[in-house]
Amino acid sequence: DADVTQTPRNRITKTGKRIMLECSQTKGHDRMYWYRQDPGLGLRLIYYSFDVKDINKGEISDGYSVSRQAQAKFSLSLESAIPNQTALYFCATSDQGEGNNEQFFGPGTRLTVL
């Protein structure tokens, strides 16, 4: 079984709909992240969480919210989806420790907003 899972893997929705993307991990890591990837722009950080009570905005948090329900779960919500939120979304996890540690990514969720 995969260590970092994301659901759904693909989603097509309409403008204005509320969408939740879910991420679960079995690696026992404290740190979790949400990124979006657009062609030519690379990965951009939306939100990150260093433990259940520590949630931080990333580079592009507007239009998104997150919930860290447990150490193993970190969900991303689009309260009112818009077409420019069409992208590939990745969840990632990493261990604690000094410096930055390797991040392990989920398989991604491809979201299309019509």
Contact residues: another protein, CB under 8 A: 31, 33, 35, 40-45, 48, 50, 56, 58, 88, 90, 96-103, 105-108
In the bound state with another protein, the residue whose beta carbon lies nearer, of 45 and 52, is 45
CA distance 114 to 101: 37
Contact (CB, 8 A) for 8 and 112: no
For the record, the structure tokens of 71 come out as 């150490």
In the bound state with another protein, the residue whose beta carbon lies nearer, of 17 and 110, is 110
Task: Output the smallest distance, CB 45 to another protein, in A.
Answer: 5
Which residues neighbour 42 within 8 Å (Cβ) at sequence distance 6 or greater?
A: none
Contact (CB, 8 A) for 43 and 35: yes
In the bound state with another protein, the residue whose beta carbon lies nearer, of 17 and 72, is 72
Task: Output the smallest distance, CB 56 to another protein, in A.
Answer: 8
- Report CA 41 to chain centroid distance, whole Å: 17
CB count, 10 Å around CB of 93?
27
Task: Output the smallest distance, CB 42 to another protein, in A.
Answer: 3
Task: Output the smallest distance, CB 63 to another protein, in A.
Answer: 19
In the bound state with another protein, the residue whose beta carbon lies nearer, of 58 and 63, is 58
